[in-house]
Structure 1
């Protein structure tokens, strides 16, 4: 599926780039969702233009697909947001494109993508009732996600707020390990992180908790707000209010986290922008990452494999939800020339051998319910993670997705003002007000551009 290192999942950064790039830039007039594409006919060979990552759709996959579909040849382009944006704007898009489920509202609202229901209704291998709930984020009814036609299919995903921890570091600190079945509260988690953190000579030797700060705070803050019964956007997704009690509590938690010095932040960044190296070096006790994170440990030492465990997503409030932050998959552009052939690749990639390989690898949950049983359970930590995940799936929920702004807009605004609050340059209330004002300006710009 993917190279087996952390780079496979700089997912929040990646989705933010998509949001601010190819799918976030209004391209009105560039693509019309009602326009069709031609298909192969008369025995002619069709060249299908595909933009994806070559460590996800590999040369071996392409060769296998072409062998099974002798009338189709693939012209592969390495995924690049800038190039994709230019291709969409020039009405010459690829036929098959890598795309995120969470964050797809912008492209769907602009008419850049093809509704897949006519294909799903006829498919023998991709059935709506077999799609995992993450695919709901690819749906769009003209006003919001989660309803209406499907505009993409997810290849793999995780409930990204779950926790991985090192039991050995808990034992050293004489702290009971986290429950693998019952969620901990965010307030309790921060208190435990303080006890696990070790400092010496003004330097942090062991971080108690990592939250993948560099990947962005919008998705976890959205989750915190929803868990308290709050709302991120107004009814038509054109405004936000980060001064509500629910939003204020979420922002306060991250300010407290930063001031406590229990994990990397913008003021104390992780050495490579991610938690993994610290976690593997036993310099981080807990990291907030999805099921996919377990793929990192398969080739590690027995000490690591015997120490790691997965816990449910923490909660803030009375409503337990555990969402995905992205959910990478694929879409077929509205102006694609070979939609029928692109759908054949969709079926192969999402339900054929590549999808089975992905599920068996443990580098994410499958997009299909029928493939959950393929997840690895050979190692004790894999079996434990599988059991935790099975229970966690009953709490999956969608994050709100406005077509007028995406992660690329939220990320720097949240980081800037939360960091200022950590430094005590402004209060939490002032941070919430500043975030609200800046995001609402961006939402208005997006609304004005899209119409």
Structure 2
């Protein structure tokens, strides 16, 4: 189970790392070129992406159905690996469209190396009213006040809860903008006795160390300063996260997401089966609930509530627990600006949304908001403003060493286990986490110095 958790977080981290760049289409050389679709003019749209096959599966094949006369040339300098130097790749291959991770988007925006999309939006009267408003604001913030890119997907989370259990145990239902500490305090109001295969749980969540990482992302915390490589794992905010998570584990309110022997994945989920009061989850959890209704014998449905959260305790209208892996942008020197803009509009528009939500498996809601999915309202997934600062810091750390997060998780798990088992005080565990995290950073710094 711990291996699966680490794998999950590495996939999240690697998804930030394995980011390529995408496509465009048109005859317009200038931002002031005439409006209107340029996608069917027969021009070649050059796209920079990390892998051509992956690009075609995700974007190219679908776009060609919409614009069959479009020629798309995918430049994949990394082959099957991440692009390490976007500036060099753009200078060498002169793409019309790129897909950038948040860090590269921020850097290239600040260096004025991307086309200002607001000019194109105003020119074509492109409707942004149903795009995730908080995401637009954050992309503009990361762009230094100007919108240089759009992202079709925002992997956001919400607090899903079993309204029937809240009513049964006379607990006040969650509200939008609750913090992790408030959510866990709610979880403690539910029974903690009984056999694990049949009892009620307050919250579906993995153990202390993984809960700490969830809290940290929401609060925008980083365990190492990506610039100085100084450990920051002993701050008041981090210590509070350790405390909240270890107390939740000791109280017995977390189901630990244990797989039940002889049961399917759907049946092993206490939340799916109506035995857990809450879960923080993505839109994929809604698919699991629908699958349980049709795939589990004698399934008993329950009333689902969805609240926006968890929120950052410093700003209840925002959260760091939103992941953006690909921001579509147009290089400043692109030859086919209008064509690239057509591509961006399509994958941030209603036509693509209609195709996307027909897919059998959905992991993240689109930035183009819709009111409901699988019969459930989705507004809670869009209410909090995403803060990309911590994910950008995480990207920088991963580029310095892919093992940083794994090493930190290992230290975190060992020390919090001692706290939960009463073998170490929280203060001593915090000091140990800080010391060992700094040792990891020092080892990397020493290795880099030796290479020089």
1:251 has 2:245 as partner:
no
* Contact preservation (8 Å) 1:112, 1:334: no
1:294 has 2:286 as partner:
yes
* Contact preservation (8 Å) 2:290, 2:374: no
Q: How far, CA to CA, are the matches of 2:25 and 2:351 in structure 1?
A: 27
Determine the structure 2 residue equivalent to 1:57.
Answer: 59
- Residue number among 307, 323, 326 corresponding to 1:326 in the alignment: 323
Determine the structure 2 residue equivalent to 1:183.
Answer: 178
Determine the structure 2 residue equivalent to 1:367.
Answer: 367
Q: What displacement does 1:420 show?
A: 0.9
Q: How far, CA to CA, are the matches of 2:386 and 2:397 in structure 1?
A: 23
| Equivalent residue runs for 1:330-349 within 5 Å | 330-332=327-329, 340=337, 341-349=339-347
* Contact preservation (8 Å) 1:239, 1:440: yes
* Alignment CA distance shift 1:194-1:18 (3 Å): same
- Residue number among 344, 352, 355 corresponding to 2:353 in the alignment: 355
* Contact preservation (8 Å) 2:293, 2:301: yes
Bigger mean CA deviation after superposition, 150-159 or 356-365: 356-365
| Equivalent residue runs for 1:42-441 within 5 Å | 45-46=43-44, 48-49=46-47, 57=59, 59=61, 61-67=62-68, 70=69, 72-74=70-72, 82-85=80-83, 96=97, 100=101, 104-106=102-104, 108-109=106-107, 115-123=113-121, 124=124, 126=126, 132-138=133-139, 145=142, 147-157=144-154, 159-160=156-157, 162-170=158-166, 174-176=169-171, 178-181=173-176, 183=178, 186=181, 189-190=184-185, 192-193=187-188, 195-197=190-192, 199-200=194-195, 207-211=201-205, 218=213, 220-224=215-219, 239=230, 241-263=232-254, 277-290=269-282, 293-298=285-290, 300-301=292-293, 306-314=302-310, 317=313, 319-323=315-319, 324-332=321-329, 340=337, 341-355=339-353, 357-358=355-356, 365-368=365-368, 372=369, 374-376=370-372, 379=375, 382-383=376-377, 386=379, 388=380, 392-393=383-384, 397-400=387-390, 401-402=392-393, 404-406=396-398, 411-424=405-418, 427-434=428-435, 436-437=437-438, 441=442
Q: What displacement does 1:354 show?
A: 0.4
More strand by share: 1
Q: How far, CA to CA, are the matches of 1:442 and 1:126 in structure 2?
A: 50
* Alignment CA distance shift 1:168-1:63 (3 Å): same
Structure 1 unaligned segments of length 5 or more: list them: 1-9, 24-30, 32-36
Q: What displacement does 1:186 show?
A: 1.3
TM-score (norm 1): 0.65
Aligned length, in residue pairs = 398
Q: How far, CA to CA, are the matches of 1:199 and 1:261 in structure 2?
A: 11
Q: How far, CA to CA, are the matches of 1:344 and 1:412 in structure 2?
A: 40
Instruction: Please tell me whether Structure 1 or Structure 2 has the larger radius of gyration of its CA atoms.
Output: 2
Q: How far, CA to CA, are the matches of 2:75 and 2:269 in structure 1?
A: 31
TM-score (norm 2): 0.65
